[in-house]
Structure 1
């Protein structure tokens, strides 16, 4: 089944993968802080809306082309977005591993903050391909 594009921006997209089922945030390159937060917030709103129709529902981050993120953005993810994502029902985050070292550092920092959190538990997992990331998430949701 083909993924359905819900949001398309120059820096990233939100897709629905009905075959998993999950929402996919797909980064196309560098996004400044406002762009990054906007796409993540709009994606979470779409997740909440879709979760009313589809259960269970997962979250997948295609970070192959993600750029560097600032410490302020990492703090926002850890202390603002993640708690809201957890409250919305996200328990697993399947990643397609970044290709650039800057993206790798960003995702490693996200993982460190997420696994250290005391107020929520979101399990991250990393995969080389989108197909592998979808397969793992489908298994977690079963």
Structure 2
């Protein structure tokens, strides 16, 4: 079920798998980034879900402001909402992948089990096994 959609992202909640899915389709920044992620947190809370898949293959880099918001606002709320498992489909851009590596380290240090995959199918397979 799609719970948020904009030109740069689609956020879904898969009821049968209890997984939030964020597919970034471009440079998802500012209000679009916040809305797409906040809708995912709402789904975690409403459904007592703990699993998240991010398909970031087409993601651009985050701004410094976005990274600050992710680290200091969104992440604590997502953890409080119950988020525990993150399947991350890696961006195609080397710069985006480098930026994302820093985020992965940050999330892992905050108790989120993160696994990186090349395809969403691989990520779903792992999430369904944990």
TM-score, normalised to structure 1's length?
0.82
Of 5, 11, 15, 1:18 maps to 15
Higher mean alpha-carbon deviation, 24-33 vs 11-20, is at 11-20
Gaps of 5+ in 2: none
User: SS where residue 31 of structure 1 aligns?
Assistant: coil
What is the CA distance between 1:134 and its match in structure 2?
0.6
Runs (4+) of structure 1 moved beyond 6 Å? none
The number of equivalent residue pairs is 130
Unaligned runs of 5+ in 1: none
For the pair 1:138 / 2:128, whether they are aligned, the reply is: yes
Counterpart-to-counterpart distance in 2, 1:74 and 1:93: 18
Which deviates more from structure 2 when the two are superposed, residues 79-88 or residues 17-26?
17-26
Match of 1:127 in 2: 117
Please say which of residues 65-74 and 23-32 is displaced more in the overlay: 65-74
1:21, 1:138 within 8 Å by CA — same for their partners in 2?
Answer: no
* TM-align CA RMSD: 1.7
